[in-house]
Amino acid sequence: MRVAAACLVVLAAGPALARDPSPQALKRGIDRILDREAFAPAFWGVEVRDLRSGRVLYERNARKNFKPASTLKLVTTAAVLDAIGPDERLRTTVETAGRLDSFGRVLGDVYLVGRGDPNLSGRFADGRRTAAFEELAGALWSAGVRRIEGRLVGHEGLFTGDRRGEDWSWGDLVWWYGAEVSALAFNDNCADLTVTAGERAGDPVRVEREPASSYYRVVSTATTSAAGTPPALVLARAPGSSEVRLSGTYPIGTEPWDGSAALEDPARYATTVFAEVLAARGIVVAGPVETSSQPLPAGVRALAAHESPPLLEMLKAVNKMSQNLHAEMMLRLLGARRRGTGSAEAGREAVTEFLRRVGVQASAWAMQDGSGLSRSDLLTPHELASLLAAMDRHPRAAAFRETLPIAGKDGTLKNRMKGGAADGRVVAKTGTLRQVNALAGYVTTRSGSRLAFVAVANHHTAPGSAATGAIDEIGALLAGF
């Protein structure tokens, strides 16, 4: 996600012989970066704190509220890791109360029951998007199922309330990072498109889509333009529609464009694709595809089940790839586990309870969602630093750090701070919104000190690359001590 003013928090803890950065050196170095003329209109906040002693080494506006963008995912994932644990697996099941007769017919409705697994996709299946559904279909076939006489119902009752976060922008909703939330989610609730130029200028572009489901259609009027001209593709999907429209031009000789368009009614999308996988396996669904959030009927039993990867792997996808949908699903899962209701509100209540328990004073915060996509999210660098400090002491500290991108190595930091002092020494969560850039995490310095940092820039009008460059300079400064 994106961010527009910057806040930095650094916390240091390390071996007894490690040399902590001096407050004077930090002040000179960080001030020099943040006081550039390009950032004169911006709002920066910085705090540097020694983790062992709690001593503040540097601060700037650290107790003021900032839009955190995706650094808010640190809060969500910390609370989920604390409440559920790294080894938990989530089950997606196929259930029925109907009888399976000797002809292989299920005499009744069949339910595809989602329980919050965000990875019914190709992410952990070598790119095979329908792998989980193929597994379930194979299990049904092995159990003797050949025909479902009733409806195929996608059940999403674990989560309740709004499917989108408060104050999400209309412009976000067509893209993968603004996908609707459901307890039954497939392929990140998106259609994946690849656009390739044609042979000659004026030819239609070629469009490949995955999965090639009947649930949605792609209508393209986009054409091929001459080599060397700038790409000018436009993707649109009207609210409430399952039709994705492509227009504009794409030049000869340009690498294929890959994009993911969010689709509405995720449970119906998932169930439609599952019905298509069943048909390919030879299992007929006689009734319609429907969805439900009502309690499952009495007497249901599982015919097949699919288990998710361990929770730790799911949280890596949230933080390393900054996956908004997954963060929102984790927030609602937390609400279901801790408060008995799978809503965003219940999830936020559980997060507040967790923060209070670990000593983070978040009373001045405004947390609207779990991903940071909301423009109304607010937090202070000081208390986000307190969370980082608390998680550094947490029994699951190592797992938490393992979820974070590594500078120059992977995730959203793969191509940042590469080759310098921070390469491999910074593990941190990025954040990006329009006019917002952020980074928050930990640093291991050359001298062996361990630092935790938060950098958030709000209201800057400089290019985003200028803000991220400044934040990366701070990361290199810290790593170089």
User: Cis omega before residue 211 (within 30°)?
Assistant: yes
Do 210 and 129 form a contact (C-beta atoms < 8 A)?
yes
Half-sphere exposure of 291 (CA within 13 A, CB side): 19
Which runs of E-coded beta strand occur in 308-461?
Answer: 426-433, 436-444, 450-458
Half-sphere exposure of 407 (CA within 13 A, CB side): 27
What are 3's strand-pairing partners? 436
pLDDT digits (tens, 9 = 90+) for 79-93: 999 999 999 999 999
Across the beta sheet with 110-113, what order do the strands follow?
289-292, 152-155, 110-113, 91-96, 301-307
Query: Regarding beta strands 190-196 and 284-285, do their DSSP bridges make them parallel or antiparallel, or are they unpaired?
Result: unpaired
Task: Tell me if residue 220 is catalytic.
Answer: no
Q: What is the pLDDT of residue 20?
A: 63
On the question of pLDDT at 5 being above 70, the answer is no
Task: Tell me if residue 376 is catalytic.
Answer: no
Confidence of residue 175 (pLDDT cuts 50, 70, 90): very high
Confidence of residue 349 (pLDDT cuts 50, 70, 90): very high
Q: Which of 304, 302, 292, 307 is nearest to 152 (CA)?
A: 292
Of 182, 213, 242, 322, the catalytic one is: 322
Cα-based angle 41, 46, 51 (whole degrees, multiple of 5): 175
Residue 265's alpha-carbon distances to 154, 182, 184, 292, 345, in angstroms, are 11, 8, 10, 11, 21
pLDDT digits (tens, 9 = 90+) for 201-254: 999 999 999 999 999 999 999 999 999 999 999 999 999 999 999 999 999 999
Task: Report helix, strand and coil shares of the chain as percent, to nearest 5.
Answer: 30, 25, 40
Quick one: 317 exposed, middle or buried, by C-beta within 10 A (0-12, 13-18, 19+)? buried
Which fold does the domain 89-309 belong to in CATH? D-tyrosyl-trna(Tyr) Deacylase; Chain: A; (3.50.80)
The span from the CA of 430 to the CA of 410, in Å, is 12
CA 13 centroid distance within chain: 29
Query: Regarding beta strands 43-50 and 7-13, do their DSSP bridges make them parallel or antiparallel, or are they unpaired?
Result: parallel
Q: Which of 36, 34, 61, 31 is nearest to 46 (CA)?
A: 61
Which fold does the domain 7-85+312-479 belong to in CATH? Beta-lactamase (3.40.710)
Q: What is the pLDDT of residue 18?
A: 53
Coil/strand/helix, residue 357: helix
Please give the backbone phi and psi of residue 237, each rounded to the nearest 5 degrees, phi first.
-145, 120
DSSP string, 179-231: PPP-SS--GGGEEEEEEE--SSTTSBPEEEEES--TT-EEEE--EEE-TTSPP
Task: Tell me if residue 260 is catalytic.
Answer: no
Q: What mean pLDDT is reported for the chain?
A: 94
The span from the CA of 321 to the CA of 311, in Å, is 15
Residue spans per domain, the chain: 7-85+312-479, 89-309
CA pseudo-torsion sign 29, 21, 319, 418: positive
Please give the backbone phi and psi of residue 427, each rounded to the nearest 5 degrees, phi first.
-125, 115
Pick the more confident residue, 57 or 272.
272
Q: Which of 481, 402, 405 is nearest to 439 (CA)?
A: 405
Q: Is the pTM of this model over 0.85?
A: yes
Query: Diameter of the chain by CA atoms?
Result: 81
On the question of pLDDT at 57 being above 90, the answer is no
The span from the CA of 101 to the CA of 144, in Å, is 9
Q: Above pLDDT 70, what percent of the chain?
A: 96
Q: Which of 187, 181, 184, 189 is nearest to 165 (CA)?
A: 181
pLDDT digits (tens, 9 = 90+) for 186-196: 999 999 999 99
Of 73, 316, 320, 429, the catalytic one is: 73
Q: What is the pLDDT of residue 21?
A: 73
On the question of pLDDT at 62 being above 60, the answer is yes
- Out of 183-192, 250-259, 386-395, 447-456, which region has the weakest mean confidence (pLDDT)? 447-456
